Amino acid sequence: MQDKLSLMIPGPTPVPERVLLAMGRHPIGHRSADFQKIVKRTTQQLQWLHQTKGDVLVITGSGTAAMEAGIINVLSKGNTVLCGDNGKFGERWVKLARAYGLNVQVIQAEWGQPLDPEAFRAALEADTAKAIKAVIITHSETSTGVINDLQTIASHVKDHGTALCIADCVTSLGACNVPMEDWGIDVIGSGSQKGYMMPPGLAFVAMSDRAWEACKHSDLPKFYLDLAKYRKSAHADSNPFTPAINLYFALEAALEMMQAEGLEKIFARHARHRAAAQAGMKAIGLPLYAAEGCGSPAITAVAPEGIDAEAMRKAVKEKFDILLAGGQDHLKGKVFRIGHLGFVCDRDVLTAVAAIEATLQDLGLHKGSAGAGVAACAAALAQG
């Protein structure tokens, strides 16, 4: 059958019909008063989502563009940064920082394990010369399904006194609580095809006052990603370069839906889906990849022992048209990942668990009692 695809990957995530309809509207002029109204409204909505009164800027690009902008606008050549790396995205920010000639100190954890906040505390405390200009952290590590303890790490950065806290919240924003001001985060990068319930194409950078202060002294070259330009335009309800207008229509519609649901309910829904996905997988004997208690609210990585995870993933796609994510890099074939991020309801999670369980059964690999996965998933959903 055509057009029955169900997206259960960590991005692009499913998009509500009203957001798709907004996408399909005819563009309007991006220098018009009508478009200014949309910029103004979406800016307020974005501030609500980020729990900040500061600037949240919109770039046409991917989440990587947002993170790059956040990094290169507040740092200068040769600056020392402390970067957490416990997965593919942590690794990416290390590479990105090095591409700009930054001096990167890496705090690593094994894939599947969370970053140790104590390691950050120690490194920051040892930096009495205040050489560290920023700490770069991936909140939800999409490649491994691990959530890092951003709140605690941010508090250590605050204690350092001068370093900025730059957070990749690409798959955490809109999935769990990320109160930017309360936690003292200076830069947050995110992307539209995640918790925003939108197609990809827009990226968001939220900046604190401290981040803007650092911005004044930044000497790394940039033009399209020059946030000072975006800020100046944003204050006039505009954009420095022609933005993806139709994605702005979608943004307004999606954020309106998020506001109607409310942050607390959104976070509770994601927590419930994490619990349900985890319970379902455990009940059918499929081990979770993320360390106990460190699962991301956006994504559950599963490491089936003795089973080709890629073959499982493909079978679920072929039989049930549910797209799960595969393992990346050395996890290819060892891990599959269930995305439960954004426009995902209880039915979607129950369905994904049922399809995975049915596939195991069909392949003769189901080791527990038939239906145990769905039963455990249903029980967890009922509790949340």
| Binding range to its own copies, per CB under 8 A, among 28-36, 132-140, 230-238, 357-365 | 28-36
What single-letter DSSP state applies at residue 249? H
Structure tokens given for 209: 């006052």
How many residues line the site for its own copies (CB under 8 A)?
55
Q: By C-beta, is 31 or 319 nearer to its own copies?
A: 31
**Residue with Cβ nearer its own copies (21 or 236):** 21
Question: Whats the size of the chain, residue-wise?
Answer: 384
168 binds its own copies (CB under 8 A): no
29 is a contact residue toward its own copies (CB under 8 A): yes
**Smallest Cα–Cα separation from 377: which of 264, 266, 303, 284?**
284
Nearest-CA neighbor of 200 among 65, 70, 90, 314? 65
Residue 25 interacts with its own copies (CB under 8 A): yes or no: yes
- What minimum distance in Å lies between the beta carbon of 123 and its own copies? 24
> Annotated binding residue at 121?
no
Nearer to its own copies, 243 or 280 (CB): 243
The span from the CA of 111 to the CA of 132, in Å, is 25
CA angle 79, 83, 86 (to 5 degrees): 165
Q: Which of 114, 174, 189, 201 binds its own copies (CB under 8 A)?
A: 201
Using the rule CB under 8 A, is 199 a contact of its own copies?
Answer: yes
How far lies 154's CA from each of 115, 191, 207, 346, in Å? Answer: 13, 21, 15, 32
Q: Residue 210 Cβ, how far from its own copies at the closest point, in Å?
A: 24
Interface stretch with its own copies, choices 118-126, 220-228, 263-271, 354-362 (CB under 8 A): 220-228
Chain positions 66 to 105 lying near its own copies, rule: CB under 8 A, are: 68, 72, 95-96, 99-101
Is 191 a binder of its own copies (CB under 8 A)? yes
Three-state SS across 25-71?
Answer: CCCCCCCCHHHHHHHHHHHHHHHHHHCCCCEEEEEECCHHHHHHHHH
Neighbours of 36 (CB within 10 A): 15
Q: Which residues, 222 to 281, sit near its own copies by CB under 8 A?
A: 222-226, 241-247
15 near its own copies (CB under 8 A): yes
| Tokens encoding 192 | 């539209």
At position 294, the amino acid (one-letter code) is C
Contacting residues toward its own copies, per CB under 8 A: 3, 5, 7, 9, 11-12, 14-15, 20-21, 23-32, 60-65, 68, 72, 95-96, 99-101, 191, 193, 199-201, 220-226, 241-247, 323, 325-326
**Binding-site sequence positions for substrate:** 337
